[in-house]
């Protein structure tokens, strides 16, 4: 059922998310990473060797291991880029964008800002989506200029996942500043897709 829902060519074991995460915590509890390279190697061995989707979820869980916290810097972005580009589906991409790329952007603003602006113009749709949604949990810390600049190259796209991402990012920021989101939608109404507008204004009267 999950395989059909996710439109996944890779099969599922049938393990639900809470059990998968608790299993990962138990399996990864004693892992040590002597260097960032060792951590990268562990993650990519699981990711590249996966035969079932939950195994790739496990690789993403390992990227967030507590002992990998010192490695959450722009130097980790080639690892996340590989997961995003080769994963190429929303369940992988959204987790990495919001839970890994976003926190790195929060701490390393300048280099990550440049990278997200470059990704926003990428021919790869999933890198574009990442640039748009990486600030989902930032609230008042949201860099609005960055968000709008990352949205801009995808405004004319007819890709569902980009239109959805634009609406989602705006809807999330609307919890912080609803008036600003209304202004943005009003200013850009001719260029925003119906889906993006509906999503952006979903929780606003």
Structural domains of the chain, ranges and CATH numbers in brackets: 1-71 (no CATH), 76-205 (1.25.10.90)
pLDDT band, residue 123 (cuts 50/70/90): very high
pLDDT above 70 covers a percentage of the chain that reads: 96
Mean pLDDT over 83-106 rounds to 97
Number of H helices, E strands in the chain: 13, 0
Task: Decide if 184 contacts 178 (C-beta within 8 A).
Answer: no
Q: Which pTM does this prediction carry? A: 0.93
Kindly tell me the burial class for residue 97, based on how many C-beta atoms sit within 10 Å of its own C-beta (0-12, 13-18, 19 or more): buried
All residues at 6 or more sequence positions from 93 whose CB lies less than 8 Å from its CB, including other chains:
84, 87, 126, 129, 130
Task: Decide if 106 contacts 98 (C-beta within 8 A).
Answer: no
What distances in angstroms separate CA 108 from CA 103, 111, 114, 183, one per listed residue?
Answer: 9, 6, 11, 29
**pLDDT tens for each residue of 107-121:** 999 999 999 999 999
The lowest-confidence range among 2-16, 70-84, 116-130, 180-194 is: 2-16
Q: Terminus-to-terminus CA distance in the chain, angstroms?
A: 36
What pLDDT score does 121 carry? 98
């Amino acid at each position: 059922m999950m395989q059909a829902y996710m439109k996944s060519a890779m099969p599922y074991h049938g393990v639900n998310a809470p059990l998968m995460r608790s299993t990962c915590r138990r399996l990864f509890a004693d892992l040590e990473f002597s260097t960032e390279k060792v951590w990268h190697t562990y993650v990519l061995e699981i990711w590249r060797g996966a035969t079932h989707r939950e195994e790739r979820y496990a690789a993403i869980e390992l990227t967030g291991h507590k002992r990998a916290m010192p490695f959450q810097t722009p130097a980790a972005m080639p690892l996340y880029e590989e997961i995003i580009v080769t994963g190429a589906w929303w369940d992988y991409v959204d987790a990495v964008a919001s839970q890994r790329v976003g926190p790195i952007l929060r701490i390393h603003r300048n280099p990550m800002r440049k990278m997200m602006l470059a990704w926003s113009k990428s021919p790869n749709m999933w890198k574009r989506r990442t640039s748009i949604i990486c600030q989902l949990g930032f609230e008042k810390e949201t860099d609005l200029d960055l968000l709008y600049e990352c949205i801009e190259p995808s405004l004319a796209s007819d890709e569902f996942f980009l239109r959805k991402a634009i609406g989602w990012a705006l809807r999330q920021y609307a919890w912080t500043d609803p008036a600003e989101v209304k202004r943005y939608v009003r200013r850009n109404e001719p260029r925003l897709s119906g889906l993006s507008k509906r999503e952006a204004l979903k929780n606003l009267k």
